[in-house]
Amino acid sequence: MGRMPISNTPKRATLDDARTVSRTLAGAFADDPMMRWFLPDETTREVGLGRYFTTIFTRHYARHGVCERTDAAAACWVAPEAQANALPDAETLQELVDVLGERGPLFREALQGAAEHAPTEPHWYLAVVGADPVARGQGHGSALLRSGLARADAAGLPVYLESSKESNIPVYEHFGFTVLAEAELPGGGPKLWPMRRAPRPAAGA
C-alpha cells in the first residue's frame, strides 16, 4: 500500500492546529540564522523552537492574524486592519523572552528595530512562512505565498516582510518583492532584510 500524498493545498490554520503548525515552523527555522542566534545552544534549540512557535502561534497569530497551512508548511499574515496587533502584546512578548533566555532582551530590541522599517501605508504583513525540510521543493511554501498574495492583490494592497535568511531573498524576489534595506540584529547578530511587494492587478483585470 503506497503512502498518501502530502497535500500542498492551503487551508485555514486554527488553534486546533497548534501542534502541527509549531512543529512545522520549528523544523523550517532550525537552520535560520536569526533563530540560531537567539537560540545558540544546539542541545536545547529544538525544544526552544517548539516552545517559541507554539507560544507565538497560540497566543498571537492564531488570534490576531490570518494563518494557513498545508500538510507540510505554515504561514501567518497580519491584515492591514490589524496592524496594531502586528507585534505581540506585552504578556506574550515576555513569554517569548523567557523562552529565549539570555538572548531574550536582544529579541525584544530586534522586534522594535524591525518595526521601524515597516511601511506606514496600509499593507498585508507576512509575519512568518516556512516548510518542513523534508518537503521542501514540493511547492508547499509557494502555495501559501500565492494564497496570501492573491488576497493582497484583490485588495490592491502591498505586502511587507522581513527575510532573516539571505538565501530566501531570490525566492521572494521571484514573487515580486524588492529589498528595502539591510538591517543588523542588535548585539552583533545576523542581518535582516525588510522587503516590499507592490500590488499586482488581479488576473483578468
pTM for the structure as a whole: 0.92
Average pLDDT of each block of 10 consecutive residues along the chain (205 residues)?
67 96 96 95 96 96 95 96 86 94 91 85 96 88 96 97 96 97 89 96 63
- Which are the contacts of 97, defined by CB distance < 8 A and separation ≥ 6? 104, 105, 107, 108
Give residue 84's pLDDT: 83
Phi, psi dihedrals of residue 43, rounded to the nearest 5° = -75, -20
Q: What angle do CA 65, 32, 44 make, to 5 degrees?
A: 95
Q: Quote the pLDDT of residue 32.
A: 96
pLDDT in the model for residue 2: 47
Give residues with Cβ within 8 angstroms of 204, minimum separation 6.
none
- Domains, the chain, in order of start with CATH, read 12-197 (3.40.630.30)
State the cell numbers at 185.
540584529
